[in-house]
Amino acid sequence: MAVAHVPSSGTWYGATLKEWIFTTDHKKIGMLYFITSLIFFIVAGLFGLIIRFEQSAPGIQLPGLFGQEGTDLYNYVLTGHGAVMLLWWAVNVWMGGFANFLVPLMIGARDVAFPRLNAFSYWSFFGASLLVLLTLIPGNWIKMLWTGYAPYSMNDNAGPTSLYVLIVLLYSISSTGGSVNMITTIVSMRAKGITWTKLNLFVHAIMAASLIQLFGVPSLMGSVILLFTDKYLGTNFYNPMLGGDPLLYQHLLWFYSHPVVYVMILPAFGVFSEVISTMARKPIFGYISMALAIYAIAFVGFETWVHHMFVSGVPDWLRVLFSYTTLFVGVPTGIKIFNWVATLHKASIRYNTPMLFTFGGILMFLIGGLTGIPNAMVSIDLGISDSLFIVGHFHYVLGMALTFGAFSGIYYWYPKVTGRMYSEGLGKLSFWLMLIGANIMFFFQMYIGMAEGMPRRYPDYPPIPEWIQLMQIQTVGALIMTVAILLSLINWIKSLKGPKAEENPWKSPSLEWSMTTTPVGPNNFKKFPVEVPEDWHPYAYFKGYHAHV
């Protein structure tokens, strides 16, 4: 393996710039992914604030620039916010950042199965990132939204189709490489004694998410390649004037792009399980059903894509069929929520920042899940499809549950990665502000969509007094959220010089805590190969457990 020359003592991050660029080490690649994701999270967050600014009043606030209307700028910003938040933050903070850093540590491996493929995946992703930055040039504004629906995406009004296709293709290449790596690593590189029933739930989540990526991404690639050949090479897959069908694009797109929401949320569920078990000092309730629920969600997730197309003109019977399949996702998701709650029964709960973010994430996911039901019930969807209700709903899931999960994970593993302790006070303040701000923002977003029926993707709207008020309330929420996120960013940067962390501050038997130094050494484990006793389990929290700490 490619780790032969790495010294056995020191820290994982101690290396020259050249070594960082040419690295094949999973921890360094994970960190490169993570930093890229975080930078793009901030950029997309600022785009979100521009959207709030535009929608705070009727009329068009944004200036017309470079011969384009203010609404064009809005459409570009909306496209950027969606695409970057979903693909750069929601997918790759997990599949690139967390998974790369943690999975080998959790299964007792020295690196991932294909370290050079891993580096290739990151640099493809980096290439896609550079192309995204190129869209900041006004002539390159992509305005077809992250979904790029044909035939609009072939229209000149939508911006450069080729750039969009290239970005999606590079992202797809990177995702395929990453998922192949994770699946192979988890299947074949677990240390002796770590069976499928002794894997961290986070690892199960990454496994399921990687399977989704592997089976789904080809459909996404296909959809954009056909888009490219339609626009530039004269084929007619999507052009109705010449026998094509625009709905083909939507089927191909959503066949991947619905399951991908589980790529985003399952790892957050994984983090919730890690944190809740550790901080409640109790084994996770119903480990087997928790693991099976992950795979059930991934499987059912592939049978639900048509709910994105309930008003697209597909036959009625198809809508009813997919209404039922979509609702069934609620069953395994419900199991997970009930099991988390049951884990708290007779526990000993430590309230620190990661635990607060996990609690917040679970309770907000509950709202996100329940407000997902109307999108599945085809009868309700006819009235709320493409309204701001949908936007509020998926921000509860992705903007809150997922982001709370990511923040929880960042705080939880911060001592292991940096060797320093974060500031607890600042972290808690950040949590409470984020909970309040996000709820104000997204609750009223759902409300205006459901009760007032306001369509989404509208920079401008009729000056109905209720709409203006509801929009301004959301902006207040967004500003509170901005402060909260800034506090966490400050915390993470400032704490790099914080107090030294203990070796295993959470007293966890999970391998990444119990068998590595703090911060992690270049060779991962204190002893290699890793050996675990027969009664070892990552969630063995109870009196007299074998504390390998």
Cα distances from 232 to residues 23, 154, 158, 344, 495, in angstroms, run 38, 9, 15, 57, 51
Tokens of 57: 């009043």
Shortest distance in whole angstroms from residue 376 CB to other proteins: 8
Helix axes 260-279, 246-257, angle to 10 degrees: 20
Question: What is the Cα–Cα distance from 306 to 41, expressed in whole angstroms?
Answer: 29
**Residue written as token pair 């959809």:** 223
CB of 549: closest distance to other proteins in angstroms? 13
Separation between Cα atoms, residue 236 and residue 233, nearest integer Å:
9
Closest approach of Cβ 409 to other proteins, in Å? 20
| Residue 348 burial class via C-beta count within 10 angstroms: exposed 0-12, middle 13-18, buried 19 and up | exposed
Q: How far is the CB of 379 from other proteins (least distance, A)?
A: 4
> Helices 353-370 and 424-450 sit at what angle, rounded to 10 degrees?
10
CB contact set of 370 (below 8 Å; sequence gap of 6+): none
Alpha carbon 375 to its chain centroid, in Å, reads 20
Of 396, 351, 348, the C-alpha closest to 372 is 396
Closer to other proteins at the Cβ: 72 or 111? 72
> CB of residue 421 vs other proteins: minimum separation in angstroms?
18
Q: Given the complex with other proteins, which of 350 and 494 has the nearer CB atom?
A: 350
Amino acid identity, position 310: F
**Are 139 and 227 contacting, i.e. CB atoms less than 8 angstroms apart?**
no
Tell me the closest approach of the beta carbon of residue 96 to other proteins, in angstroms: 29
In the complex with other proteins, which residue's Cβ is closer, 76 or 94?
76
Of 95 and 327, the one with the shorter C-beta distance to other proteins is 327
Q: Are 187 and 103 in contact (CB under 8 A)?
A: no
Taking the complex as a whole, how short is the minimal distance between the CB of residue 494 and other proteins, in angstroms?
27
Q: How far is the CB of 218 from other proteins (least distance, A)?
A: 24
Nearer to other proteins, 69 or 503 (CB): 69
Whole-angstrom distance, CA of residue 390 vs CA of residue 457: 11
Contacts 24+ apart (CB under 8 A), 5-13: 6/522, 6/523, 7/522, 8/521, 8/522, 8/523, 9/521, 9/522, 10/521, 10/522, 11/419, 11/519, 11/520, 11/521, 11/522, 12/519, 12/520, 12/521, 12/522, 12/524, 13/519
Under 8 Å between Cβ of 12 and 520: yes
Distance of closest approach, residue 70 Cβ to other proteins, in angstroms:
9
Angle at alpha carbon of residue 377, lines to 375 and 379, rounded to 5°: 105
Distance, CA of 485 to CA of 482 (rounded, Å):
5
Q: Write down the least CB distance from residue 146 to other proteins, Å.
A: 11
Rounded to a whole number of angstroms, the minimum distance from the CB of residue 356 to other proteins is: 10
Output the six-digit token pair for 389.
Answer: 């209700």
Please identify, using beta-carbon distances, which residue of 84 and 102 lies nearer to other proteins: 84
Return the residue matching tokens 């600022």: 46
- Judged by CB, which is closer to other proteins: 123, or 328? 328
Distance, in Å, from the CA atom of 316 to the CA atom of 486, rounded to the nearest integer, reads 47
* Residue (108 or 246) nearer to other proteins, CB: 246
Q: Decide whether 340 or 525 has the Cβ nearer to other proteins.
A: 340
Nearer to other proteins, 247 or 479 (CB): 247
Cβ at position 457, least distance to other proteins in Å = 5
In the 3-class helix/strand/coil scheme, how is 200-268 assigned residue by residue? CHHHHHHHHHHHHHHHHHHHHHHHHHHHHHHHHCCCCCCCHHHCCCHHHHHHHHHHHHCCHHHHHHHHH
Least distance from other proteins to the Cβ atom of residue 268, Å = 17
Please state, in angstroms and as integers, the Cα–Cα distance from residue 56 to each residue in 279, 303, 496, following that order: 41, 38, 38
**How far, in Å, CA of 248 to CA of 254, rounded?**
10
Q: Cβ closer to other proteins: 103 or 471?
A: 471
